[in-house]
Structure 1
Amino acid sequence: MEKAEFRKNAADMIYLTRCSLHNKTPDKSRVENMDIESLFEVCQKHILTVCVAYALESAGIHDHDFTQAKEKAIRKNILLDAERRKIFDCMENKHIWYMPLKGALIKDWYPKLGMRQMSDNDILFDGNFRAEVKDIMTDMGFECEHYGDGNVDEYFKKPVCNFEMHNELFVVTSTGRLHEYYKNVKKRLVRDTDKKYGYHFSDEDFYIYITAHEYKHYKEGGTGIRSLADTYILVKKFGNSLDRDYIDKELNRLGIADYDKTNRKLAMKIFDGKKLTADENKELDYYVMSGTYGNSDNFFRNKIESNFESSKIKYILRRIFPPMSLIQAWYPFFYRHKWLIPVLWICRPFFKIKNVIKELKYLINRK
């Protein structure tokens, strides 16, 4: 799809999402002039297909692809909720503290079931029990798809249940000050009143965490319109009940106060249907063209710009010879067997050769 066409369909997607969030029927004449097939493609990129499906249905448009996506999303949310409850019961029995993250909570604040689509469920747990949690998941019939390096272990159970089990919220290589701020996250948590090992953030700390998480994506590969919808839902959910003085102080500690201000203002304006300034339209375009999980162009551009200090040669040397903190986070085998680190230096560029080529092209063309 050409960029101009993508942007046009994204504008329709935002309009229809706004209608769904406000439980309003969209203008029928505008809907009739939409390219439903292309609209579906853009919605899939931003994982806003169900939001748009509800809006289309209210206008009398029952498209097969949108309807199927909505039904699958509702089914998936129900299955994920059921499996998550079972996982928590097992963790209670094993005396392992845990906390559901992000969308597992936000989805219930959207107006209708399934409207906030879930690609997976994220759970934070006591990282001292990584192996025990793996046993819990495999005993429950999950396949372990990734384990041991980084901060996330990934599990899948047919037909549609993906779980990401986090032993910490951010790795040491995460953008900015995120890892340092959250490395002892347990002290920020509040125990659930009806559980011995279940925890949650206060409302203020939940808002801060969601902002930090979205900032990470924004500064890496980019993030899409759904993150703005989540921000809008959060602001509407909590209203004026949040302690903004505390939030602003903590966001300043994280170095993301300006991001929060810009992100929050943009979210409120687009979903309240207010006119954007030229700068806000430019900012919105970054979200539109990123998609929910960003893209490689953004990723390499942002990575290079955030790590570039003085010369291309120095940047390349840092990429070839990564710091020990990165090796510890992403290559624990080599961290444990440090005498093999020279092998990592040689082999690492070939792990994802296509990405290396893209990064080099951007670096070469950088002025």
Structure 2
Amino acid sequence: MITEEQKLYLKSLRGAVLRLPASYFDEINPGDEAVSRMFRTAYAQSQAELIYTWFLEEKIVLPEKLKGQLQLSYDHALHRELLMNTERARIFDFMDEQGIWHCPLKGIQIQPLYPSVGTRYASDNDILVDPEYCQTIRRYMEKRGYKASPSSGKHDSYLKNPSYHFEMHWRLMDETEEEDAAASYLNRIFPKLHRVENNKFLYEMTPEDFYLHFLAHADHHYQGSGTGIRYITDTYFYLKEYGKDMDWEKLGELLKQLGLSEFEERIRTLSDKLFADEIPVFDFSKEEEEFLSYMFRSGSHGSDQISAENSIRKFNYRARTGIGRKAEYIARRVVPDRWWWKTNYPFLYKYKIGIPFFVVFRLVRGTFCSVFAREELRQLLSRGKEPDERDL
């Protein structure tokens, strides 16, 4: 269940999103300590800049020490977004020159919908690119001083100081067993993309497909390490801009097909309730409170604790005793099934002779270096002797 402190946060977030007058905040009437705690939550949810700029615009008084910290955070977010926008334009120019089709994703498209530059934090820029040119892009990015991280099963990641981070996707989703329907649709998205006017190689998704990808990505994190309140805010801004022109009948069918109907309804209903024109009473159903509580606990980027909880809870157990199930879980995590190898290490999925050596390396690394692995083992061993009824 959500706390009164969390309800205060949601009320403040509503004011920031709708840019309500200062009198609205005066009605909430929190003290300085409550405001400080509220902004701690805002940092955890990556929404501090959004709320802070509302305070500035409406001249809402802040504790002096907190104001200095928030101003520094906002300056950094503003500078970062401007740098990323400028750098992305240079990268797109290169792709245009080389004849590489490209499609901006996620935060790139949502940031401009927020009240002003710097109010929607994004840790990276995601771009879907022609998979035939991944090596060309890599050479260009490395020449510009970027460090390429090891490839995942769907993108190459590029980092450069002071705060540049780009992910070049050749597909949108990992092909895991539980997300196979969404991956099958979204990884074949190119024929459905629309070319942006006056640009031969810049593409964009239809509003419906963008929304589907946005939801699939949010649900992926929600089911994994958790995700936060910002997705509800993103939903509001996106649907405010594009919702009235979307084909909701077609979209409803696709949501069912991709297994996203329930998640979409939850997040859209909460968006409607929190940011409605009429003042809400902040009276949530039990299911909505559980959903919000989970998002508050997750923060914007999830946590190892929640990831371990979900991994243990969702595991497909065969053993019937507690000890047997724990042993089964550990064995499968050390030597995962084919979906895991295909998603995370496609090279080893193709050349299986290297798997035994990697398993040994993975076991040693997990034991001594991985915070997540230690948290996972702690939670598993702390369970009772009998299997948890949620797993049956």
Provide TM-score, normalisation by structure 1. 0.91
In structure 2, C-alpha distance between the alignment counterparts of 1:65 and 1:199, rounded to whole Å? 39
Using the TM superposition, give the Cα deviation of residue 357 of structure 1 relative to its aligned residue in structure 2, in angstroms: 2.8
- After TM superposition, the structure 1 = structure 2 runs for residues 130-279 of structure 1, keeping only pairs within 5 Å, are 130-144=134-148, 146-173=149-176, 175-177=178-180, 178-272=182-276, 273-274=280-281, 275-279=283-287
> Hey, what does 2:31 align to over in structure 1?
33
CA contact (8 A) 1:51 1:115 kept: yes
Report the residue type matching 2:150 in the other structure: Y
> Hey, what does 1:285 align to over in structure 2?
293
> Hey, what does 1:302 align to over in structure 2?
310
In structure 1, C-alpha distance between the alignment counterparts of 2:197 and 2:355, rounded to whole Å? 47
- After TM superposition, the structure 1 = structure 2 runs for residues 352-367 of structure 1, keeping only pairs within 5 Å, are 352-353=366-367, 354-364=371-381, 365=383, 367=388
Structure 1 runs of 4+ off > 4 angstroms?
none
Q: Deviations over 1:19-68 (max 9, x none)?
A: 12111134236455142443332211110011110222224325111112
Using the TM superposition, give the Cα deviation of residue 14 of structure 1 relative to its aligned residue in structure 2, in angstroms: 2.2
In structure 2, C-alpha distance between the alignment counterparts of 1:299 and 1:175, rounded to whole Å? 16
Using the TM superposition, give the Cα deviation of residue 333 of structure 1 relative to its aligned residue in structure 2, in angstroms: 4.5
Report the residue type matching 2:31 in the other structure: N
Change (3 A) 1:9 1:113: farther
Change (3 A) 1:174 1:59: farther
Q: Within the alignment, does 1:87 sit opposite 2:86 as a pair? A: no
SS where residue 159 of structure 2 aligns?
Answer: strand
Report the residue type matching 2:344 in the other structure: W
Provide TM-score, normalisation by structure 2. 0.85
SS where residue 340 of structure 1 aligns?
Answer: helix
In structure 1, C-alpha distance between the alignment counterparts of 2:255 and 2:154, rounded to whole Å? 23
The alignment's C-alpha RMSD in Å is: 2.3
Identity of aligned residues (%): 27
> Hey, what does 1:12 align to over in structure 2?
8
SS where residue 60 of structure 1 aligns?
Answer: coil
Using the TM superposition, give the Cα deviation of residue 18 of structure 1 relative to its aligned residue in structure 2, in angstroms: 1.0
Report the residue type matching 2:133 in the other structure: F
Using the TM superposition, give the Cα deviation of residue 110 of structure 1 relative to its aligned residue in structure 2, in angstroms: 1.2
Report the residue type matching 2:39 in the other structure: F
Change (3 A) 1:142 1:340: closer
> Hey, what does 1:346 align to over in structure 2?
360
Where in structure 2 are there 5+ consecutive unaligned residues? 320-324
Using the TM superposition, give the Cα deviation of residue 9 of structure 1 relative to its aligned residue in structure 2, in angstroms: 4.7
Using the TM superposition, give the Cα deviation of residue 331 of structure 1 relative to its aligned residue in structure 2, in angstroms: 2.5
**Deviates further, 66-75 or 210-219:** 66-75
CA contact (8 A) 1:125 1:167 kept: yes
Change (3 A) 1:247 1:81: same
SS where residue 99 of structure 1 aligns?
Answer: strand
SS where residue 245 of structure 2 aligns?
Answer: coil
> Hey, what does 2:322 align to over in structure 1?
none
**Deviates further, 335-344 or 250-259:** 335-344
SS where residue 116 of structure 2 aligns?
Answer: coil
Query: Structure 1 residue aligned with 2:126, among 107, 122, 127?
Result: 122
Report the residue type matching 1:293 in the other structure: H
**Deviates further, 178-187 or 260-269:** 178-187
Structure whose alpha-carbon radius of gyration is higher: 2
Change (3 A) 1:175 1:271: farther
In structure 1, C-alpha distance between the alignment counterparts of 2:59 and 2:286, rounded to whole Å? 31
> Hey, what does 2:49 align to over in structure 1?
50
Where in structure 1 are there 5+ consecutive unaligned residues? none
Q: Within the alignment, does 1:101 sit opposite 2:105 as a pair? A: yes
